[in-house]
Amino acid sequence: MPRPLTVVHTSDVHLDSRDTDAATDGFRSRAERAFSGVVDATLEENADLLLIAGDLFDNNRVDDSNIGFVYRQFERVRCPVVMLPGNHDVHDEASVWNRFDFDEAGEHVHGLMSHAGDRVVLEEIGACVWGRAMAEHAPENYPLVGTPERQDRYWNIGMAHGQVVERRVGQGSSPITRDEIRTSGFDYLALGHIHVWGDHSEGDTIAVYSGSPVAHFAGAAGGHVAVVDLCAANGVRVRSRRVSSWERTMERSSGGFPF
């Protein structure tokens, strides 16, 4: 049986240094400050794995300083990191991921960049992580098509960026059906795209939207990561951990409220 693991799961950070929102503590935006909080939580939880389930970057036009910020944050992380593109940072010809240097990010950083689905096997922690990068956020994009066979000697972890729905037809772009979750074979499915916490577990698969770690993007319900404990004896248990807070503050320069 695989050994117990602790995983931190986040998504929808939407880094963009052009954002003009109120920034403090030396960060250029709330998104930067919140992502630093994600890394802090990963370290404080002594996590074995960090998952980023899409939309780390707000768009494919972000300048390289945003990529450099991510490199610097990953220098702080000791555990493996696995990332999946989302609908804001889709993996197409103009993708920001074409400028992202995984060698510079560190050998512990992995990207799931195949449109057909890709899997990273992390022998050192006894886990395999699968995800399917999107080239376009469209009704024809099915994030859970092509899931691999279970590997019983590992923890089987999936990543998917899209909308959980009852059925694909007429349900918007990048649909993820409940039946697909139920039959996926994953012990844990890290969901991205929705900015607030949501549990969509089906059958033996625990599936959760962590929500955005940037509380400003989701109001009072935002600002969390998911902390996932996987243990053969106790099963899969998930809890939310707050990494940023939404506060209505006075904008002194304009004399009004910025939100």
pLDDT (tens digit, 9 = 90+) per residue, 197-210?
A: 999 999 999 999 99
Residue of 132, 146, 143, 205 whose CA lies nearest to 175 = 143
CA 1 and chain centroid, separation: 26
pLDDT reading at 256 higher than 80: no
Q: Which range is most confident: 200-204, 244-248, 251-255? A: 200-204
Share of the chain above pLDDT 90, in %: 83
Angstrom CA distances, 112 to 13, 15, 84, 130, stand at 17, 19, 5, 7
CB of 67 within 8 A of CB of 83?
no
pLDDT band at 154 (very low <50, low <70, confident <90, very high): very high
Give the pLDDT of residue 221.
Answer: 77
pLDDT band at 222 (very low <50, low <70, confident <90, very high): confident
pLDDT band at 250 (very low <50, low <70, confident <90, very high): very low
Go through the domains of the chain in sequence order and give each one's CATH number: 5-242 (3.60.21.10)
